[in-house]
Amino acid sequence: MARTLAGSLTAGDHRFAIVAARFNELFVDRLVQGAVNGLTRHGVDADAIDVVRVPGSLEIPIAAQRLAAKGSYSAIICLGVVIRGATVHFEHVADGAASGIAQVALTHDIPVINGLIAAETLEQAMERSGTKLGNKGFDAALAAIEMANLLEQI
């Protein structure tokens, strides 16, 4: 029988950082609430969560990189909202942030969760930040806990 490794959703003694853009803060604030809610409802102490705000999604990777280099976080959760209808350089912002986030994870060997919403419209952004399609911040928090626990086993 093959052995399967999977991370649990229990808090353990992990510390988490959330890096959140202020751009589109109406939606991003809901993602931050969702992420904190996702962490604390799975047993993470509020004192084990640090929230760092940056101007926009393009600044998320550099802040995540500094946080990763500290070595005190088990995972970093990145939150931002990019809306195509509101920007001509949508792809540049969304792809730049996503590839920077992935690079930090691989360079520092810790989970850096991409909780960015790349939406076509304001309505889509709203649907994913705490209304009918859930809260991507909450989902990102669960992915962070699971990956923090998984990487301890590998």
Residues near ligand INI (CB under 6 A): 21, 23-24, 55-59, 80-83, 86-87, 93
Beta carbon of residue 6, minimum distance to ligand INI (angstroms, whole number): 32
We find the least distance from the C-beta atom of residue 88 to ligand INI, in angstroms, to be 8
* Structure tokens given for 150: 């998984």
| Residue 92 is among the residues annotated as catalytic for this protein | no
Minimum distance of ligand INI from residue 54's CB (angstroms):
8
With H, G, I as helix, E, B as strand and everything else as coil, classify residue 69: helix
Q: Nearer Cβ to ligand INI, position 19 or 145?
A: 19
Angle at 38 between CA 125 and CA 40, to 5 degrees: 145
Tell me the two tokens of residue 139: 């989902």
Regarding beta strands 134-135 and 129-131, do their DSSP bridges make them parallel or antiparallel, or are they unpaired? antiparallel
Q: Which residues are catalytic?
A: 89
